[in-house]
Structure 1
Amino acid sequence: MHIPLFAIIDVETTGGGIAGNRITEICIALLKDGEVVDKYTTLINPERDIPHHITALTGIDNEMVANAPRFFEVAEKIEEFTKDAIFVAHNVSFDYNVIRGEYRLLGQYYNRKKLCTVRLSRKLIPGMLSYSLGRLCSTINIPHLNRHRAEGDVDATTILFQRLISLDEDFSTFNSFLNPRSKQATLPPHIPAEQIDELPEKAGIYLFKNQKHQVIYAGKAKNIKKRVLSHFYDKKTKEYQLGQETHFIDYELTGDELLALLVESEHIRKHYPKFNRAQKWPATTYQIINYVNQRGIIQLALAKTKALHDSVGTFYNRAEATEKLEEICEAFKLCPRFCTLQSTSEKCSHYRIKNCEGICEGDEDVAEYNLKVNVAIASLQQNKTSFAIQCKGRIAGEIGFALVQEGQYKGFGFFDRSEAICNIEDYDPFLKLQSASYHTHAIIRSHLKKNGEANVVYFDNPSTLNNHRIKTIKKESAKENIFSEWN
């Protein structure tokens, strides 16, 4: 059996992510027929300052590398030393990408077959609590001297690699990892290829979890498997770090992109994942509230908040909320001053609304005015739309849905096509309750803007949930009803 030449490599760097990482030290041990036949090690001037926390970890400081060769001075040596070898490292993606980055800065292309001793160890020495080089060496009694220096780490990795070779007598595991079709060379160190193989090529959400099974990233996809793999092919620092911290990948099928977006939003709200940026911060909402002022008049006002509370109405931008307040003020002949549409403490003088009946000057009875305000409030609450957006299910014969009740997103679910779904309460046994937020509102609003009322089922909105009937609405009036609130 022919055993290829291996180059066991470790680099120490300045830190700062893949893009800004520069090498401060490199060591390469050539392994042939299971024995070290040559070794090369050198400090390298990174041409930038070494941060203090990196010096504390490695012991390499600016003074040590001041007179060391720069990378372009050793690039040809490294190229020649490794040209016929398979690139091996503990967490190979890091060392390999840093070296490729150095060659890229020189306008050169560096390419080698590669093997990761973390992934090999997980396969051939299963069940370890940790596969970091230090802990793995301690567990299986491999000497690891001069840690976090290139030569010390290479010496320990070499012994580990020799042991892994001895555990794979027919070289079948090594050959499978070296197979060009294998994902082993591109996957992060802690994710078994089997997890990737089991991912579906369907719509849904996926969750990246760390060693403690905490969600560190939530995403949605039309094709879960394809999207997950795209994270690992991306060489940006954030994606690399995400891969390094991921140990498990879970998923949930939704069948439809709308439901995937809504479920993704719920996971981000619930888990606050480390690597998600969008949707992590609660967006400001505006609410029309009412209170009784010192004169006993029911006053309407806008309140800005980052949470949803019971109110006369909730809106997701100030202009929309102000427009609605002006609309009811004019429609019910309320006073702009007592709708907080102007700050004057005297007679109202709104630029457009001119039909105030004199409450601000004492010409209108307070009880009669308050009655008009209560009718206006009731009209706002009664006009909140209830509807279900039906969509593709997870399997054939299944229908998915997102439910909005009285203007508020309630959740999603699935039911078989054979189910008799006629009224809003018929959805209850299949409904998975979720939290409404600015983001769920925006998702549904965007869907309606893109797709109109296709597959939208409307419901009446009486004060109780009993005896709901599906509305029969002409196309234009239905569109006006739903878009007035959701678009």
Structure 2
Amino acid sequence: MEDQLFAVVDVETTGGGINGNRLTEICIVRLRGSVILDKYTTLINPEKNIPLQITALTGIDNHLVAKAPKFHEVARKIEEMTRDAIFVAHNVSFDYNVLRNEFKDLGFEFTRKKLCTVRLSRKLIPGLFSYSLGRLCDSINIPIIDRHRAEGDTDATVILFQRMLTLDDDYKVFRSFLHSHSKEATLPPHLSADQINDLPDSPGIYLFKDKHHKVLYAGKAVNIKKRVLSHFYDKMTKEYRLGQETYYIDHETTGNELTALLLEADHIRRHYPKYNQAQKRPGLVYQIISYINQRGIIQLALGKTKLTMDSVGTFYNRAAAAEKLEQLCEFFKLCPRYCTLQSKVNVCSHYRIQNCEGICEGSESTENYNAKVKEAIASLGEETPTYVIREKGRHFKEEAFVLVKDGRYQGFGYVDIDVPITSVDDYEPFLKLQEATYHTHKILSNYLRKQGAPKMLFFDDKALRPGNLKILHPQIFGRKIPQGSMVL
């Protein structure tokens, strides 16, 4: 390492996401081994407004950079100062990515090997309370003059870097961090490689947590380790910020993707993580509702809500709800007008449903019609089966199961393969109760559509019944499990 060139860098920026972050100041100190060869520092006109909170932190304002050179005017000097050198910075990913994006905007590729003094100091100076540049330097008596300015921070980082060179016998740590296949070269500053090495290559969920152990992100994977590492290879601003805030990674194996999805949904519901977006948004629910109109006729209609209330039927897309309403109307000889399939007509004239028995024109009694509507409503209740989905366990001697009782998701669990199962109650001691939500329904609906009955056990009055689910009215529903009608 005595002959190795290093470029110790610190940048100040306008703030914001990586892709919109512009340089306002840069300092580069070039070293050969621990010997300083050259220093370059300059303000840079970012060609955009500097927010007040950034000025309050750095002291750099729009007036100060107004006559400073723009990046394209100093790019050649920056390239020369870092050429053939290893790029060194405190939290190196930030400085490196900002600089690389500036070059990218000019149409040039900026590529350097990197070393992070945060990660190096965690390895070579373990046990400190904090590894932020200010607190780290206070802990080991390194002076910082002009904190949060590029030159002051770079000068302190150079002293820190020189000190760590003396702490690394034969430069084993430095070389391991520079190895192209080393996790240390790609991991965020606050994560140790040991945390990654402890992750399994099996299905399950993982939780990214901040320094207070608050969940930042919950994810599922068929290969936990591979999926976690993929976050750190992603250069999107969101992924970068997630990595910078992550101090701990917890995980739980599930043995299969289905229970991983359900467990992920549960963690998102309970922890409301900062970096999860999709499942924090409540999905729209479509419901078949019934009410008595002014003529005393029971009328069916579709309702839309973000809440899952009791109703005749609950569906998770409008097409499924409308299709079921048409099926009910046709099979029970109901009137399209009073099923809200037609409006602004006195007498129904549906293009397909033509077996109305005349309630709309007064030739069928209200009593007789309402009886048919009640039968249609009752038929929907009979489409809420009790069943278990069987999946792979966490090891070969167990089986995972997901329990749905009377159409309502109950939770999941694991049972040894030699435990006899003769009724639904036999699963209760092994069940991890979960809350049924819009998202758990979507997960199960998608699974049933793709996997179907082969992995399912159905129960009549809690007793095990082999074979496919029998539907009361096969003319309507066929032999497939109806989609979108699971009760919450």
State the TM-score bracket (shorter-chain normalisation): 0.7 to 0.9
For 2:13, give the aligned amino acid: T
More off after superposition, 332-341 vs 115-124: 332-341
* Conserved? CA contact 2:44–2:65, under 8 Å: yes
* Structure-2 separation of matches of 1:80 and 1:107: 17
For 1:59, give the aligned amino acid: G
Counterpart of 1:210?
210
Q: Percent identity?
A: 62
Q: 2:483 aligns with which of 477, 482, 485?
A: 485
* Structure-1 separation of matches of 2:222 and 2:241: 24
Say whether 1:472 aligns with 2:470.
no
* Structure-2 separation of matches of 1:2 and 1:162: 11
Structure 1 residues 26, 337: closer, same or farther in 2, change over 3 A?
A: same
Counterpart of 1:225?
225
* Structure-2 separation of matches of 1:70 and 1:315: 57
Instruction: Give the secondary-structure state (helix, strand or coil) at the position aligned to 1:269.
Output: helix
Instruction: Give the secondary-structure state (helix, strand or coil) at the position aligned to 1:250.
Output: strand
Structure 1 residues 473, 74: closer, same or farther in 2, change over 3 A?
A: closer
Counterpart of 2:317?
317
Say whether 1:87 aligns with 2:87.
yes
Instruction: Give the secondary-structure state (helix, strand or coil) at the position aligned to 2:403.
Output: strand
User: Deviation at 1:415?
Assistant: 1.8
* Structure-1 separation of matches of 2:469 and 2:134: 70
Instruction: Give the secondary-structure state (helix, strand or coil) at the position aligned to 2:288.
Output: strand
Q: Deviations over 1:264-285 (max 9, x none)?
A: 2222233222222322211101
For 1:376, give the aligned amino acid: A
* Structure-1 separation of matches of 2:113 and 2:317: 54
Report the TM-score when normalising by structure 2.
0.87
User: Deviation at 1:180?
Assistant: 3.2
Structure 1 residues 480, 428: closer, same or farther in 2, change over 3 A?
A: farther
* Conserved? CA contact 1:137–1:144, under 8 Å: yes
For 1:38, give the aligned amino acid: D
Instruction: Give the secondary-structure state (helix, strand or coil) at the position aligned to 2:30.
Output: strand
User: Deviation at 1:16?
Assistant: 3.4
Counterpart of 2:455?
455
Say whether 1:29 aligns with 2:19.
no
Q: Deviations over 1:51-95 (max 9, x none)?
A: 444333322233433333333333333333233433211100111
* Structure-2 separation of matches of 1:3 and 1:119: 22
For 1:398, give the aligned amino acid: E
The number of aligned residues is 482
Instruction: Give the secondary-structure state (helix, strand or coil) at the position aligned to 1:102.
Output: helix
Report the TM-score when normalising by structure 1.
0.87
* Conserved? CA contact 2:320–2:483, under 8 Å: no
* Structure-2 separation of matches of 1:271 and 1:152: 40
* Structure-1 separation of matches of 2:104 and 2:338: 67
For 2:118, give the aligned amino acid: V
For 1:469, give the aligned amino acid: L
Q: Deviations over 1:128-182 (max 9, x none)?
A: 4432223333444433332221001112222333443454455443333233332
* Structure-1 separation of matches of 2:399 and 2:133: 49
Structure 1 residues 213, 482: closer, same or farther in 2, change over 3 A?
A: farther
Counterpart of 2:378?
378
* Structure-2 separation of matches of 1:35 and 1:372: 92
More off after superposition, 338-347 vs 57-66: 338-347
Counterpart of 1:72?
72
* Structure-1 separation of matches of 2:481 and 2:251: 33
Which contiguous aligned blocks of 4+ residues in structure 1 show a shift greater than 6 angstroms?
A: 474-479
Matches within 5 A, 1:110-121: 110-121=110-121
More off after superposition, 309-318 vs 468-477: 468-477
Instruction: Give the secondary-structure state (helix, strand or coil) at the position aligned to 1:80.
Output: helix
* Conserved? CA contact 2:329–2:335, under 8 Å: yes
User: Deviation at 1:208?
Assistant: 1.2
Matches within 5 A, 1:232-271: 232-271=232-271
More off after superposition, 405-414 vs 144-153: 405-414
* Conserved? CA contact 1:385–1:481, under 8 Å: no
Counterpart of 1:463?
none
* Structure-1 separation of matches of 2:414 and 2:455: 14
* Structure-1 separation of matches of 2:240 and 2:19: 10
Matches within 5 A, 1:134-149: 134-149=134-149
